[in-house]
Amino acid sequence: MNADSTLQVETAADPVLARLVDQVRGADATTPLCIRGANTKHFYGEAATGDPLEMSALAGISSYEPTELVVTARAGTPLAELEAVLAEKGQCLPFEPPRFASAAHGAPRGGTVGGMVAAGLAGPARAAVGGVRDYVLGATLLNGRGELLSFGGQVMKNVAGYDVSRLLAGSMGILGVICEVSLKVLPVPPAQATLAFAVDQAEALRRLNDWGGQPLPINASAWRDGRLYLRLRGARAAVADAQRRLGGELVQPEVAEPLWLGLRDHTGTFHTRALAAVEGGQQLWRLSLPSTAAPLPLAGEVLLEHGGAQRWLVGHLPAAEVRAAAAQAGGHATLFRSLDKSPGVFAPLAPPLDRLHRQLKQAFDPRGVFNRGRLYPGL
């Protein structure tokens, strides 16, 4: 059976998929499509253009094998729904993707599985457990020709061919429509504790780098307003031993849980203040740096995460100044939230990387119909 025949069989049994295929095949260079799930990350990336390609109806968990630690879900499945099913079996998405739940945007339960992969964003545990792409085992993609392609599989050791399914993580939908994803999941750790330390930013970075070289069950960290928070997760004995070794102030669960949830979903104090600042004309930058980098000489409010490797900065600084400081420290800066995106959202690509991006776009979406310019202008 050829690819076209296979597609006809699949769409005949699935009217939602058939509608998507028809809309993609009917699009062209003058009528591009903007892929949209719950629309919770509309602020992220360059401005979206094109007619909406609604994904919310392509929802549901296709298969779940708790003993194999694998779940397959369709792109429009709400993250809250997927995580509720995993929680019933004591399992989770360990990279803690932000859900951006917002009744104002019609998504009180937050984002979707497809948006999670397309944006490639992870939460507080990112440095300890890995990011979205590390948990993507396989994916089904509708390309710019209206063809349904499958990559990867549903096993953790699938290494055949190019790892296209992981390439989709962070692609912002420019390569095609993510229709279904297979993900690796993990058991919820049996114990956790949060410790707090009163230190300045430089001391926080020093301690985080020192602790990072020790066999400690550190799962997440955050520093803001002169307080360093450390989340320990793992076996009960390991967590208890780390508490004794590290000292600090034990944060009670009723305080710690909202703290980490706020950092994950961008609903905590820092991000709430940042959103208000952005609405007032400032910018929220996300800087990816070596964890050993010293505090940057940039004015603004700062939040450290991921052992110091991810640094948020709220301020009203020229983009060139922020990007130059990040580059000098060995990293790069992303304009995460701003009313003015003219400086460019993502760090400019070196010519070889730019060429690769354009070749991939041409291979998967030769007519340029998907999320045009969402990742980089002209791409």
Return the closest-CA partner of residue 304 out of 201, 195, 198.
201
Per-residue pLDDT at 7? 53
HSE (CB half, 13 Å, CA atoms) of 221?
27
CA distance linking residue 36 with residue 370, whole number of Å: 11
pTM of the model: 0.93
DSSP class of residue 199? -
pLDDT tens for each residue of the chain, 379 residues long: 444 544 544 555 799 999 999 999 999 878 899 999 999 999 999 988 899 999 999 999 999 999 999 999 999 999 999 999 999 999 999 999 999 986 555 566 789 999 999 999 999 999 999 999 999 999 999 999 999 999 986 544 444 445 788 899 999 999 999 999 999 999 999 999 999 999 999 999 999 999 999 999 999 999 999 999 999 999 999 999 999 999 999 999 999 999 999 999 999 999 999 999 999 999 999 999 999 999 999 999 999 999 999 999 999 999 999 999 999 999 999 999 999 999 999 999 999 999 999 999 999 999 999 999 999 998 8
Q: Secondary structure of 285-309 in the HEC alphabet?
A: EEEECCCCCCCCCCCCEEEEEHHHC
Report pLDDT for 106: 56
Give the contacts of 97 (CB within 8 A, at least 6 positions apart): 79, 111, 116, 121, 122, 123, 132
Residue 315: predicted pLDDT? 97
Residue in 41, 65, 47 with CA at minimum distance from that of residue 137: 65
- Which runs of E-coded beta strand occur in the chain? 33-36, 51-54, 61-65, 70-74, 91-92, 136-142, 148-152, 177-184, 186-187, 191-198, 218-224, 227-234, 249-251, 283-288, 301-305, 310-315, 332-337
